[in-house]
A and B are shown apart, each in its own frame.
Chain A
Amino acid sequence: ETGVTQSPTHLIKTRGQQVTLRCSSQSGHNTVSWYQQALGQGPQFIFQYYREEENGRGNFPPRFSGLQFPNYSSELNVNALELDDSALYLCASSPLGGAYEQYFGPGTRLTVT
Chain B
Amino acid sequence: SQKIEQNSEALNIQEGKTATLTCNYTNYSPAYLQWYRQDPGRGPVFLLLIRENEKEKRKERLKVTFDTTLKQSLFHITASQPADSATYLCALLFSGGYNKLIFGAGTRLAVHP
User: Which residue on chain A has the smallest CB distance to residue B104?
Assistant: A42
Tell me the dominant secondary structure on chain B's binding face. Answer: strand
Report the separation of the CA atoms of residues A4 and B46 in the bound assembly, to the nearest whole angstrom.
13
Report the separation of the CA atoms of residues A105 and B42 in the bound assembly, to the nearest whole angstrom.
8
Q: How many residues of A contact B (CB 8 A)?
A: 29
> Contacts of A35 on B, CB cut-off 8 Å?
101, 103
Chain B proximity of A47: nearest CB distance (Å) = 9
> Contacts of B103 on A, CB cut-off 8 Å?
35, 42-44
> Contacts of A94 on B, CB cut-off 8 Å?
99
User: Which residue on chain A has the smallest CB distance to residue B47?
Assistant: A101
- CB 8 Å contact bits of A71-111 with B (1 = contact, 0 = none): 00000000000000000001010101001111111110100
User: Are A45 and B100 CB-contacts (below 8 A) given A4-B43, A107-B43?
Assistant: yes
- State whether the Cβ of B113 lies closer than 8 Å to any Cβ in chain A: no
